[in-house]
Amino acid sequence: MILLRIALRNIAATKVRTLIIGLLITFGTMLVVVGGSLLSTLDRSMARSIIGSVSSHLQLCDEGAKDALEFFSPPTGTPDLGQIRDFPKVKAALEALPEVEAVVPMGSDFAMVFSGNVMDVKIAELSAAVKRGDREKAQVLADHVHKNVVLLQESLRGLEGFVNLDDNKEERQVDLGNLATAASDEFWADFLDSPEEKLVFLENKVARLAMDAKMLFLRYLGTDTEAFRKNFDLFEVVKGEMIPPGRRGFLFSEFIYERQVKNQVAMRLDFIKENLEAGRTIKDDPKVASRVQQNVRQYKEILYQMDRQQTAQLVARLQELLEVEEKEPEKLLEQFLEMDDENFAVRYRFFYDEIAPAIVLYQVRIGDILTIRSYTRSGYATAVNVPVYGTFRFKGMEKSALAGVYNLMDLMTYRDLYGYMSPARKAEIASLKAETGVEEIDRASAEDALFGGDDGEAGGEDGGTRPSPGEGGPPPAADASSDGGFDEFAGIDMEEGGQRYGEALLRKVYPQEEIDTGVVTNAAVRLAAGVDLEVGRAAVEKAVREGGFGLSVIDWRQASGLVGQFLGVVWIVLFSAILIIFLVALVIINNSMVMATLDRTREIGTMRAIGAQRSYVLKMFLIESTVLGVGFGLLGTLLGSMLIVFLGRVGIPAVSDELYFLFAGSHLYPVLLPGHLVSAFVVVFLVSLASTLYPARLAARIQPVKAMGKED
Amino acid sequence: MPLHMLTLTATLLLSAAAVPALALDADGMKKVLETIDERQRNAGDHKSLVYIQTKEKSREDVVMEAVVYRRDASDQFMILLLKPKAERGKGYLKIDKNFWMYDPTVGRWERRTERERIVGSDSRRADFDESRLAVEYASEYKGEEKLGKFTVHHIRLTEKPGADVPYPVTELWVDKETNNVLKRQDLAASGKLMRTVYTPKWKKVYSESKKEDVWYPAEIRIYDEVEKDNSTVVLIQEVDLRPLPENIFTKAWLESKSR
């Protein structure tokens, strides 16, 4: 008790020193409690986002893969992940483990989807209507194309001055002449009477001048869609319906669908509305104002899509709304799209009520057949048709760009885009190769092999660099096939390929065995409920090793790529900050105690002279620093806990798309974990103790005679 | 003679000795290119059956059989794929400056460019087209060289303004005796070597319309110089110079083949 009183007296006697040490200890403890709780909560929410969306607990990849699997890193090309060689076997082996709930096959890539320019699309529709003999529809489309040609001519008119500067000015002048022909009324007067030649003219001489092709950049995840639905609990369909089991199908990410597939003018209006609802204004927020201006500049996005009748109706309705006499649709639309804070709500409604029904609001509609063109891994441009069943999102992460980055498709379509060859197709190709018997020649020895030998390739039976004199030359008069001659379609059933081949694929329901067999680049492993990640990982790794599958097993943090690494970096920063703070505290406490020892030499000497043992002096110092540590440590813990409880109630708002994903929602609600309180306390106690050891030993070694003889 | 004049004379003599003897002057070179073009030119239509095989490291080979249709007089060109079944009916059609690709499985046409890798191989449309070296390129003679046992002219070609060619610079090695192109290297504008093409086998077929032989490379071996593991072999298996149906170079004709 006396020791405690002495400690308190000393603490009270050196107020400045106590304050500095107190602040450091309080801040350090707060940092341990707040930082630790925040990061632990963030780790949990990230786990929820990543495990519940695309990664699941563990991922399996080819151990010889050139690139690493990183779901959320920016795409820098198609990563080479190799392949899981025998997926059905891997799936069976792992699903037999009690730690594993399910194994879901996957593959991801990206594709560019081109819509073609509006002119190409409309001419194709017109061409189809002509072929069908649908005169009424053809007339409407012909008017539409005519109107668009006139609009194109007007927009290119402003560039006429540049034609003379162009290297190919003659060609440009021919282009403008063709455009003038197609814009003239004479061209269209009897269009439907003889449309064929004019359609060819429009397709090849005019449409290519309209350079407004739309492109969608789609990242997709090919998977067993039914297994995906069952094993990723955050997954939910928003628009349309789920892809039926075993069928080919595509689900757009709701985020992509609303932000990329939607008409750009409509999308910007949605953006403005969202921002106005959040309290921002067109007048004061430059981001919002710029969207209004972009819409004004891009009124053609709307006008190109409307035929004459729709345009006339729009003019009338806009005149009414804007209360003006203006008759030019371009000017009316520009005026309409020039929105401000006052008229936005009315015009937004007008857009969706009057304009949206007349235009293509989504470049791809639910129920459409989407044509995905992509380059296979061998670089061959391939196109696959896949029906769009709807859109999906991950619950609670609707606004996250990262969570919405992937679109979903069935594994069979994915494999077609990958360039996977079924055994039947492989056999067909092998027989084609055998039939032709091409000799493989290595690049390094090509010149020697082809031109080097005694006679090289020259003079061979089937031709050579210098064919024998007998070849070629005028044939005998009776030889009718002197120009050569072959029938390219002999023995080939053209109906076996093409359209029928594509349509049959869309009707097919694939059995589970076929879904599991073929290219799988990676697979998600969902652990059984309650299984610890590391325990599950060890079990899966053991099974993979024993099965000789040649796979590497990575957890969701690694699989998430940059996002997962982000948390690791934050942990390192936090630890470093805590370490630095406590090191500083340690040095300061140590120094101040050394000073106190020197200050109190006479006092300690006296105490030692009247019988105090060395251990008594030692305890005296240790208790003093422990009181300091415990007192301010408690204060820091209390303040930190209060802050976490407060943040846990109000939540930390996600102010960016990335945070939305990391928080697994709009807010992060930190939770106070007992572990962090205990560790804060232990750290403070150890630091206090360590910092006092040297001064305490110094004090204990003071000789009473020397101390008492010392002058103040 | 002053010393510096002696040095100059010696330098000039040495330089002259170091430059290989020019076997072709500008006219001679132009004539070689015109001969190459002329020997392959056909007055009428052209149809050929081609086999394309592309190899890439750790990938399945891309193997196709296709038929190429040409009407050079009106600059019309079309490719129709016949094998394998999955590719059957796909095609390319060139109309004026438009290069269209048709995929019957999706029933749509799409614009492509001259740089399109035909059916994913390392060949470009121009490899199957009429030879127009003298028209499309400006030439520069690099010297006489040996290619294996053949003595060849080495000629560097640079695209003329407005020419629509897949590579801006091309180097040719032409058999001195027959004027057959044996080797060709295509370069990007930066000078980077893009691919090396060997045409070791040349065949000829008599053309009724031209009243002369028409030559064609029966085998084309293409080595990708960027992706070193990639190579393509094109075999021109058959050539038919009889007139083609009048309306064949249309989207409708190509579509009708896969219905």
DSSP string for B180-196:
-EEEEEEE-TTS-EEEE
Contacts of B83 in chain A (CB under 8 A): 428, 432, 492
Helix A562-599 and helix A674-700: axis angle, to 10°? 30
* pLDDT confidence bin for A165, thresholds 50/70/90: low
pLDDT tens, position by position, B229-240: 888 999 999 999
Residue B213 and residue B241: Cα distance in Å, rounded?
A: 11
Half-sphere exposure of B139 (CA within 13 A, CB side): 25
Residue A164: what pLDDT? 54
Contacts of A377 in chain B (CB under 8 A): 59
CB contact under 8 A, A438 and B51: yes
CB contact under 8 A, A208 and B175: no
Sequential DSSP letters for A420-444: ---HHHHHHHHHHHHHHTPPP--TT
CB contact under 8 A, A200 and B202: no
pLDDT, mean of residues B126-144:
85
- Are B32 and B56 in contact by the 8 Å Cβ rule? The answer is no
Residue A78 and residue A99: Cα distance in Å, rounded?
A: 32
Contacts of A77 in chain B (CB under 8 A): none
* pLDDT confidence bin for A232, thresholds 50/70/90: very high
- Are B137 and B157 in contact by the 8 Å Cβ rule? The answer is yes
Structure tokens, A604 = 């300690």
Domain-by-domain residue ranges, chain A?
2-49+563-709, 59-116+212-262+362-424+502-556, 118-210, 275-361
Residue A22, pLDDT above cutoff 80: yes
Percent of chain B topping pLDDT 90 = 31
Phi, psi of A440, rounded to the nearest 5 degrees: -85, 130
Q: Which of residues 175-204 of B touch A (CB under 8 A)?
A: 175, 177-178, 180, 182-183, 198, 200-204
Residue A313 and residue A524: Cα distance in Å, rounded?
A: 54
User: Across the A/B interface, how many CB contacts are shorter than 8 Å?
Assistant: 235
pLDDT tens, position by position, A521-576: 999 999 999 999 999 999 999 999 999 999 999 999 888 887 777 778 888 888 88
CB contact under 8 A, A502 and B105: yes
Q: Which residue in the block uniquely carries the two structure tokens 């400056």?
A: B97
Distances (CA, A) of A86 to A89, A275, A516, A518, A527: 6, 50, 9, 8, 21
Residue B64 and residue B50: Cα distance in Å, rounded?
A: 8
Q: What's the length of chain A?
A: 712
- Are A596 and A14 in contact by the 8 Å Cβ rule? The answer is yes
Structure tokens, A595 = 């000073």
pLDDT: is A289 or A587 the higher one?
A289
Other C-beta atoms closer than 10 Å to the C-beta of A646 total 10
Asked whether residue B191 is assigned to any structural domain, the reply reads: yes
pLDDT, mean of residues A199-215:
80
Instruction: Determine the residue type at A143.
Output: D
In total, how many domains does chain B have? 1
Residue B116 and residue B155: Cα distance in Å, rounded?
A: 26
pLDDT, mean of residues A628-653:
90
- Are A393 and A255 in contact by the 8 Å Cβ rule? The answer is yes
Q: Which of residues 82-101 of B touch A (CB under 8 A)?
A: 82-90, 95-98, 101
Pairing of strands A551-555, A58-62: antiparallel
Contacts of B53 in chain A (CB under 8 A): 433, 436, 438
Contacts of B251 in chain A (CB under 8 A): 200, 203
Asked whether residue B234 is assigned to any structural domain, the reply reads: yes
Contacts of A250 in chain B (CB under 8 A): none
CB contact under 8 A, A498 and B258: yes
Residue A707, pLDDT above cutoff 80: no
CA A384, chain centre distance (Å): 22
B150 vs A426, A465, A495: nearest CB:
A465
CB contact under 8 A, A385 and B95: no
Asked whether residue B153 is assigned to any structural domain, the reply reads: yes
Residue A593 and residue A691: Cα distance in Å, rounded?
A: 8
A465 vs B84, B106, B182: nearest CB:
B182
Strand residues in chain B grouped as ranges (E): 45-55, 62-71, 76-83, 91-95, 98-103, 108-112, 137-147, 150-159, 169-175, 181-187, 193-207, 212-224, 231-240
Phi, psi of A242, rounded to the nearest 5 degrees: -70, 150
Other C-beta atoms closer than 10 Å to the C-beta of A666 total 16
* pLDDT confidence bin for A475, thresholds 50/70/90: very low
Residue A522 and residue A69: Cα distance in Å, rounded?
A: 8
- Are A222 and A107 in contact by the 8 Å Cβ rule? The answer is yes
Cross-strand bridge partners of residue B153: B144, B174
**What is the maximum span of chain B, computed from C-alpha positions, in angstroms?**
87
CB contact under 8 A, A120 and B111: yes
Q: Which domain holds residue B108?
A: 26-256
CB contact under 8 A, B150 and A124: no
Residue B254 and residue B236: Cα distance in Å, rounded?
A: 21
* Min Cα separation B10/chain A (Å): 39
Contacts of A164 (CB under 8 A, 6+ apart): none
Interchain contact B242–A (C-beta under 8 A): yes
Residue A583, pLDDT above cutoff 80: yes
CB contact under 8 A, A473 and B206: yes
* Min Cα separation A300/chain B (Å): 23
Pairing of strands B212-224, B137-147: unpaired
- Averaged pLDDT score across all residues of chain B: 83
Sequential DSSP letters for A40-53: HHHHHHHHHHHHHH
Q: Which of B106, B152, B175 should we substitute to test contact with A (largest number of A Cβ atoms within 10 Å)?
A: B106
pLDDT: is A196 or A408 the higher one?
A408
Instruction: Determine the residue type at A393.
Output: R
Residue A397 and residue A54: Cα distance in Å, rounded?
A: 13
pLDDT tens, position by position, B51-88: 999 887 766 787 889 999 999 888 889 999 998 887 88
Asked whether residue B141 is assigned to any structural domain, the reply reads: yes
Residue A462: what pLDDT? 40
CA B19, chain centre distance (Å): 30
Other C-beta atoms closer than 10 Å to the C-beta of B149 total 14
Asked whether residue B19 is assigned to any structural domain, the reply reads: no
Residue A381: what pLDDT? 63
Interchain contact B248–A (C-beta under 8 A): no
Using alpha carbons only, what angle is made at residue A245 by residues A240 and A249, rounded to the nearest 5 degrees?
A: 50
Residue A630, pLDDT above cutoff 70: yes
Residue A48, pLDDT above cutoff 80: yes
Instruction: Determine the residue type at A246.
Output: G
B242 vs A419, A483, A492: nearest CB:
A483
Pairing of strands A250-253, A522-527: unpaired
Residue A641: what pLDDT? 92
pLDDT tens, position by position, B148-192: 889 999 999 999 887 778 889 999 999 988 889 999 999 998 999
pLDDT tens, position by position, B20-56: 445 678 788 888 899 888 888 887 899 999 999 988 7
Residue B45 and residue B64: Cα distance in Å, rounded?
A: 23
Residue B73: what pLDDT? 82
Residue B145 sits in a domain whose CATH number is 2.50.20.10
Residue B59: what pLDDT? 66
Q: Alpha helices of chain B — where are they, by DSSP H? A: 3-18, 26-40, 133-136, 251-256
Which residue, A362, A360, A367, A406, is CA-closest to A386?
A367
Percent of chain B topping pLDDT 70 = 88
